[in-house]
Amino acid sequence: MALFAIFQTTFFLTLLSLRTYQSEVLAERLPLTPVSLKVSTNSTRQSLHLQWTVHNLPYHQELKMVFQIQISRIETSNVIWVGNYSTTVKWNQVLHWSWESELPLECATHFVRIKSVVDDAKFPEPNFWSNWSSWEEVSVQDSTGQDILFVFPKDKLVEEGTNVTICYVSRNIQNNVSCYLEGKQIHGEQLDPHVTAFNLNSVPFIRNKGTNIYCEASQGNVSEGMKGIVLFVSKVLEEPKDFSCETEDFKTLHCTWDPGTDTALGWSKQPSQSYTLFESFSGEKKLCTHKNWCNWQITQDSQETYNFTLIAENYLRKRSVNILFNLTHRGETRVVTAHRGH
């Protein structure tokens, strides 16, 4: 009976090893095709968000894989972007990836497809690319309404000097459409009979209430309608200058700096930049209520040296500078590093 039990155990382990081997061979031989591809949109960020799973991945196994993604615009043959995404994939895992479009998504229909290949040291070369998934069509125009003319993007926020792409969509191809930036006519590229795109290079700051862009549709001398947008162009957030701290009573540190240009924009599109003090030795931080100074309470413990990072931040960018302050040298500060944020 004992001999039979040993034989049965050995047989079971051999069978388990065989199944594991067959599973690995299956993964090596069969392309692991991406399936259940779904694409959603974020119009504020002008981005496509992809999610998918992998077919034929062995149970409870992890593999390093490369996914190649193609994005087309207007029609599937017009491929505008190709790129690879590498990651480790688990069994039954839902994968995610995002892509940001320079052209507002409302301007044109997009198509997405994906294929994959195993890129794992557990499997010898060569490995083969899977078939492409089916094209997934993404159209935002259906939700824009039935007006005869649209201009996109709506209320976009950018920094001064940024390149921006806008477009108009005309429902009636018989209309003649003219577009203007602050009253000066601009000319663009026709993407299809209904859509024309405009590339605005290094947009300037004009006013804190935004830059006006509008398009007018007409037939002959008769106006068919006008639509416009406000492009919010912010001054570039500056790195704080002359950052220093001092104390007179060894109870409070008084830190000051020059904030530079205020990046606030009108209609609460972007408030003034905020400032935060972070002290690395204690791990504590404080949101400052003023734009050019902040007080820090000195603790009653033995801490003598403070390593401060002053962080300036708005919706578009972060900037930071550092100083090292020693209580034993009253009023003295020393700049250690200056980090430029994005």
Are 97 and 114 a contacting pair, CB within 8 Å?
no
Structure tokens at 103: 């052209």
Q: Is the pLDDT of residue 81 over 60?
A: yes
Mean pLDDT computed over 68-85: 96
User: 241-326: same fold as 34-138?
Assistant: yes
Domain spans in the chain, listed from the N-terminal domain onward: 34-138, 149-234, 241-326
d(CA 32, CA 29): 9
Q: Are 169 and 109 in contact (CB under 8 A)?
A: no
Please state, for a pLDDT cut of 90, what percent of the chain lies above it: 63
CATH H-level, domain 34-138: superfamily = Immunoglobulins (2.60.40.10)
User: What pLDDT sits at residue 73?
Assistant: 95
- CA-to-CA distance for 263 and 40, rounded, in angstroms? 32
CATH number of this structure's domain 149-234 = 2.60.40.10
Average pLDDT for 134-141: 90
Residue 58's pLDDT is 76
Please confirm whether the linkage preceding 126 is cis (ω < 30° from 0). Answer: yes
In angstroms, the Cα distances linking 222 to 130, 172, 174, 193 are 56, 14, 12, 20
Q: Tell me, what's the pLDDT at 20?
A: 44
The per-residue pLDDT for 142 is 61
* pLDDT above 90 (res 12): no
pLDDT of residue 127: 78
Contact in structure between 234 and 263 (CB atoms under 8 Å): yes
How high is the pLDDT of residue 21? 41
pLDDT one-digit tens code per residue, 213-270? 999 998 877 777 899 999 999 999 999 999 999 988 888 999 999 999 999 997 678 9
- pLDDT at 22 > cutoff 60: no
Q: Is the pLDDT of residue 158 over 70?
A: yes
Q: Which residues contact 266 (CB under 8 A, 6 or more apart)?
A: 207, 208, 209, 210
Q: Which of 258, 263, 242 is nearest to 313 (CA)?
A: 263
Cα 242–Cα 277–Cα 244 angle in degrees, nearest 5: 25
Query: Residue 67 pLDDT > 90, yes or no?
Result: yes
Q: Name the DSSP class of 235.
A: P
269: buried, middle or exposed (CB in 10 Å: 19+, 13-18, 0-12)?
middle
| More confidently predicted of 109 and 126 | 109
Q: Are 233 and 159 in contact (CB under 8 A)?
A: yes
CB neighbourhood size of 177 (10 A) = 23
CATH fold of the domain at 241-326:
Immunoglobulin-like (2.60.40)
